[in-house]
Structure 1
């Protein structure tokens, strides 16, 4: 049984953690330790306890301690993006067709970040396509083909591809809205849509993408999947609202920050991964493992983003460095630095409209272990993501094994990226 296999394979090197943060409707928890400074070289002790809810026992270890050393990369010689390159190309063409609109100006705005050359690496669709193959496990034949409207049979893979398309549309819509709220002038190395076409059209383009995503989602005719991705949109709004309306205590709370980060960044990929499992007819346990992979990968991704906002350059990030603190947004590096230098609290409370306060905050950050501790926390979540993949039921299928290795490779890429 899966439960007993997980208990056997995952035992030993997770230690207890200072606190856990509960995540909404799923009753999942993820860990975010304050006390990295007491761990010494904590990159050698990153595997920790995680509670998957009542339906799944706690993960305690993993065969993949992939981030223990700088040269500890999973043994996959295949580039994850290359494994799904053909599907990504088809997905790009499909997305450009899906965002066509009768009004030329709206169509031009909606496809702005779907054009060739500015579409990015399609990180989220890559994860979901790899997850689709990784979960290609034995199930009832009836689950592999879904009968719609009597005699219309839709192939499982095409339905999972539709999840990837929906996820990318929701993601880009959130970028368009975020850029308006942040008054951003660049995105992915080019002018942001609001900067080029104005705030009103950018908002309408984001709304249009969400409406297209809803139509595509409804076509799947799966109420559980519809509910999952509808919850994602709610989380995106909730997270943005949390960021805009923080009290002084909330702004200085790591727990509040991690919850907001889940809503804004990790909810989309975690629930989309779970949707992939549900469409495949997989068990609740497998669906939870898919969810946990996406959640922890998303958290690791954002934590590294927070680091790069301080350490990256405008050229490599495609946006101005220090953009978060310049907008008054306090992220993990500053929160960790504040634990070492409590006097930072007064500067945070005063705000960062005054450039002198930014310089003071950066000075304290430079003297602290805030950047290092944020990287360590990202490593921890990356390892939890790898542990979730390692806990999936065994498979002798070479394509399944290759996709699982690629998913674990992505956890390494997330924490070692420079842009």
Structure 2
């Protein structure tokens, strides 16, 4: 399995610069908000989203140096992603994120909500200063989509009638929209054609969906230590993902457990057993692999280079997290 560090080697220096810049961009005018933001950017995530932006920037600017606007777009992408995580953790009442305490558990809900708002506002400000209306529209839509995804998830808790298509739509809003639109935006900053910009969008859309489906599988197959949060936390909170929805098709009794919201002792454990004993995990893997394959088809249209190779390998890396 290729590590993300090795995978992102074509943009390793760019990512280090990004990490250094993020703390400076947040600014230190308010000590508590700054402390919250500094904690967020010190938690060592894989920086997958800005890495994709930087890899696409290098793929679409062959034999040229990427511009300060490309770098700023990568920073904005990570700020938007981080802001959404802070708000998600408050809504989900999560105590851990990537194995570290969440902002609201370190401070309180009020500070966490303000820190998320602050990061969204900061990202919007830097976005406007890119002076590219098309890019502003794309990333502004992402912020709307993130809210839409969270609302859909909240309204559909413990809804056993939810379809796989509805699940994919919610996954697009919550995860894939940011990857899709920031991928397209990177291409637009490089001046690619409208057709190639759509290919970049489709690459990000399908990679983002594959990434989310894999995350949802790992919620059942991973340990609390590797997940950095309690296992099966989505199911417990009523967030029904691909493995659960596929199991419902095979094992109608699961519906009973979900609709009474695991109120009786042993309900949750029984539900997890039913999911693991069905073909749902394998079907979910196939769904993730389908979207990863589509992502590769769209990025393969670009000229061969180390950055494009990394973008292709990234689809394998996403799937390899399951093994």
TM-score higher than 0.5 here?
yes
- 2:118 pairs, out of 208, 217, 228, with 208
Cross-structure match for 1:364: 274
Q: TM-score of the superposition, structure 2-length normalised? A: 0.94
Cross-structure match for 2:21: 94
Inter-partner Cα distance in structure 2 for 1:251 and 1:122: 35
Cross-structure match for 2:289: 379
Cross-structure match for 1:334: 244
**Distance of aligned partners of 1:366 and 1:156 in 2 relative to their CA distance in 1, 3 Å threshold:** closer
CA contact (8 A) 1:309 1:322 kept: yes
Larger Rg: 1
Moved over 6 A (4+): none
Cross-structure match for 1:131: 56
CA contact (8 A) 2:90 2:112 kept: yes
Inter-partner Cα distance in structure 2 for 1:208 and 1:248: 32
Q: 1:98-124: per-residue Cα shift (whole Å, max 9, x none)?
A: 112311111111222112xx2312111
Matched, 1:112 2:39: yes
CA contact (8 A) 1:110 1:208 kept: no
Cross-structure match for 2:309: 405
**Aligned residue-pair number:** 321
Instruction: Note the C-alpha offset of 1:156.
Output: 5.3
Gaps of 5+ in 2: none
Cross-structure match for 2:8: 81
Cross-structure match for 2:321: 417
- 1:103 pairs, out of 24, 27, 30, with 30
CA contact (8 A) 1:80 1:126 kept: no
Instruction: Note the C-alpha offset of 1:287.
Output: 0.4
Instruction: Note the C-alpha offset of 1:136.
Output: 2.1
Q: Which has the higher helix share?
A: 2
CA contact (8 A) 1:169 1:210 kept: yes
CA contact (8 A) 1:386 1:411 kept: yes
Q: 1:291-334: per-residue Cα shift (whole Å, max 9, x none)?
A: 01111111111111011111111111111111101111111001
CA contact (8 A) 1:324 1:330 kept: yes
Gaps of 5+ in 1: 1-70, 139-143, 145-154
Matched, 1:183 2:93: yes
**Distance of aligned partners of 1:314 and 1:270 in 2 relative to their CA distance in 1, 3 Å threshold:** same
Q: TM-score of the superposition, structure 1-length normalised? A: 0.73
CA contact (8 A) 2:73 2:182 kept: yes
What aligned pairs does 1:100-249 form with structure 2 within 5 A after superposition?
A: 100-115=27-42, 118-136=43-61, 157-246=67-156
